[in-house]
Amino acid sequence: MGTMRLCDCAAGKLYMIRTVTAEETIVRRLEALGLVEGTKVHILMKKQDGSLIAAFQGTRLALGKKIAGAIEAEDCEEHGR
């Protein structure tokens, strides 16, 4: 399936972050929180508007559609990771 935007990912599944293409200040903030390339993210809840709640490295984070749309991820379960 390849990569997809995080806002298009399904709730209840595990994904691995590939790239973040948001504004520099947002990228730096996400990096400070530990959301970087290679991070495994579990989508806990997703709204129809594309916003979501994700869990990674012991942290839960709510992301709006704009930021979630700037994060590319791939399905870990599809690749057996």
Residues 5-56: tens digit of each pLDDT: 999 999 999 999 999 999 999 999 999 999 999 999 999 999 989 899 999 9
Q: What integer pLDDT is reported at residue 40 of this predicted model?
A: 97
Looking at the chain, the number of H-run helices and the number of E-run strands are 2, 6
β-partners of residue 20 are: 71
- State the Cα–Cα distance between residues 35 and 48, nearest whole angstrom: 23
- CATH 2.30.30.90 at 3-79, yes or no: yes
Cβ distance 63 to 51 under 8 Å? yes
In the chain, domain spans = 3-79
80 has pLDDT over 80: no
Copy the structure tokens of residue 23: 């504004």
